[in-house]
Structure 1
Amino acid sequence: MLKRPKKDEYDPYFERYIELIPNKCLFDVLKKQQEVTINLLRGLSSEQEEYRYEAKKWSLKEVVGHMADVERVLNYHLLTVARGDTVSFTPFDKDLYMANADFSQRDFQDILSDFSIVRQCTSSLITNLPNDAWIRTGTVLNHPTTARALAYIIAGHELHHQRIIKERYLLKQ
């Protein structure tokens, strides 16, 4: 079982994601949460897919697209760190990504499928990393960050958005 990262293995900003992960096998958590997210979002109406809980907030389509984008970026960080590259990653501009993604023009089922494919890639990556890769360190947000922490951040980011989707998108309509 992959051990939970220590607080000095990541920037404090990411604590909000890591603290959401239950004390279970991370590989099982990633698989289960993908099922939960897909089941939560399956069969929604087009009105629900386009819903924004406030005028300037993202639509549900955009939230799911954002989840896939962030997981892709973090997968690249994870792969790079796990392979021993010491590159320093600067923050990416999530609003710039959103402005250039045009999720509103895409079919919601395609966005969900894309998210699922990205998670399959994540699962493949983390399942096949050698044990010594997990403690390798790179720099994310100007802070030493282990591959292990990045895997937890990926899982926590999805749980963060699952909660937002349940509380602000699906229960409010």
Structure 2
Amino acid sequence: MAYQLDPSEYNPYYAHYLEKVEVSDLLSSLEEGLKNTSSFFESIPKEKLDFRYAPGKWSPKEILQHIIDTERVFAYRALHFVRADKVVLPGFDQDEFASNINADRKIEDLLDEYKIVRSSSIAFVKSCDEIAMQRRGVASESPISVRAAFHIICGHEVHHMEIIRERYL
């Protein structure tokens, strides 16, 4: 399913994430992300995993948990829209989520969780036909399509890996 997203499929806030997704095929983007993100976090030196470059900033392990949480939230939104549920979904406060996570775990455990969540997203996308992927709903007071939600997931993780490369390593 190669296509271009129409700007009406997402809030302009997410455009910078979507610009980071280089593969136009969603399934390929999700699979590439699984490989790239896993190997990226595996390559971070152990002494850097809990490092914060400034007070109040997240550590790489907290960033990985944030990536996982965000994927869960966007996949949940997509599930509602695929099933044609007309409920308006709320936003989520990433800082509130982050203040209540337990990233004080082994990186291997976080990566296992990431891989399970991503594998679930891949299976979900494979189960959807083109019509389902184009369905839309409202989340965070903005319209969003199923396929845009999954592309945002992909661009979001690329964004955070760039930040880690620039500020942590």
Q: C-alpha separation between the residues in 2 aligned to 1:140 and 1:3? A: 23
Could you tell me whether the CA contact under 8 Å between 2:60 and 2:164 is conserved in 1? yes
3-state SS of 1:122 partner: helix
CA RMSD of aligned residues (A): 1.4
Normalised by the length of structure 1, the TM-score is 0.91
Aligned to 1:11: 11
Aligned to 2:152: 153
Q: C-alpha separation between the residues in 1 aligned to 2:86 and 2:116? A: 27
3-state SS of 1:157 partner: helix
Displacement over 3 Å in runs of 4+: 43-46
Within a 5 Å distance, the mapping from 1:5-154 to structure 2 comes to: 5-103=5-103, 105-154=104-153
Can you list the C-alpha shifts for 1:64-113, whole angstroms capped at 9, x where unaligned?
Answer: 0000000001110011111111111221111111111121x211210111
Could you tell me whether the CA contact under 8 Å between 1:11 and 1:140 is conserved in 2? no
Could you tell me whether the CA contact under 8 Å between 1:133 and 1:147 is conserved in 2? yes
Aligned to 1:162: 161
Can you list the C-alpha shifts for 1:113-133, whole angstroms capped at 9, x where unaligned?
Answer: 111111101111111112210
Q: C-alpha separation between the residues in 2 aligned to 1:70 and 1:34? A: 15
Q: Percent identity?
A: 34
> Which stretch of structure 1 is more off in the superposition, 80-89 or 56-65?
80-89
